[in-house]
Amino acid sequence: MPSREPVAVVTGGAGGIGTAICRTLAQAGFAVVVGYRESAQQAQALLSTLGGAGHCAMRAPVTDSAALQTLAAAVQDRYERCDVLVNCAGITRFVAHADLDGLDDALIDDILHTNVRGSFAAVRALAPLLRASTQVGGAVIVNISSIAARTAMGSNVMYCASKAALDNLTLSLARALAPSVRVVSVSPGLVDTEFVRSLDAGWRDEQARRTPLGCLAVPAQIGAAVLAVVRDLTFSTGCVLAVDGGRPLN
């Protein structure tokens, strides 16, 4: 039977930010597909914490276009609809910007394949379902970007470039998919995930002090921004929504 609830697919759904997005959408009444690449156990564990009903975990390795077509077919078979796609899958590694040799070709390829090509591939695979959405206001694609796209300050040079490319992709896709599908980037500053908390505490505290609002974002705030794009900002497309505490002001 078709799903009565609107359906949201979240790639990278078992990560720190992805988990918060899945919980927020589930609480808002969406049936959530927790997309994962290798973290099947984490994705299954997350399911038991989600409110509402109709959730599932599905393999969604965004660097594998054939696997994404399989994902789209599985979503069609299970739900017969897809109303929201959140591209949250992404990778990076810390490499000092001046260390050009440290940013080797393999890492460059991994970052661009995942953060840019992977987001596009997920859209391409799910576009027929998104275009057919009967959700009020139409279907929505939310690309999880980063303040690094604007400031060119981040974990490495290519990560910053990948997020700038993702924001540009948001604009192009918003034009290409209108009026049936809206496309928006949500652009966090540094988010206080478990990964960030594992880094040097002094560095993390300094980033908070340099943010005008005096703290880092928490994952739930990113989830709230995604929900706002989907549910409330129904006349917004082709734009970048900053969730950065005003960090570019400093």
- Compute φ and ψ for 207, nearest 5 degrees: -65, -40
Tell me if 241 sits within 8 A of 189, measured CB to CB: no
Q: Annotated catalytic residue: which of 30, 36, 79, 159?
A: 159
- Name the helix (H) or strand (E) containing 85: strand 84-87
Measured over all CA atoms, what is the biggest interatomic distance in the chain, rounded to whole angstroms? 55
Contact residues for 106 (Cβ-Cβ < 8 A; gap 6+): none
Please choose, from the candidates 219, 26, 13, the residue with its C-alpha nearest in 3D space to the C-alpha of residue 122: 13
Tokens of 189: 């500053």
Specify whether 159 is catalytic: yes
Euclidean distance between CA atoms 246 and 223, whole angstroms:
18
Please choose, from the candidates 224, 201, 205, 223, the residue with its C-alpha nearest in 3D space to the C-alpha of residue 215: 205
Residue 22, classed as helix, strand or coil, is: helix
CB neighbours of residue 136 within 10 Å: 9
Which residues are known to be catalytic? 159
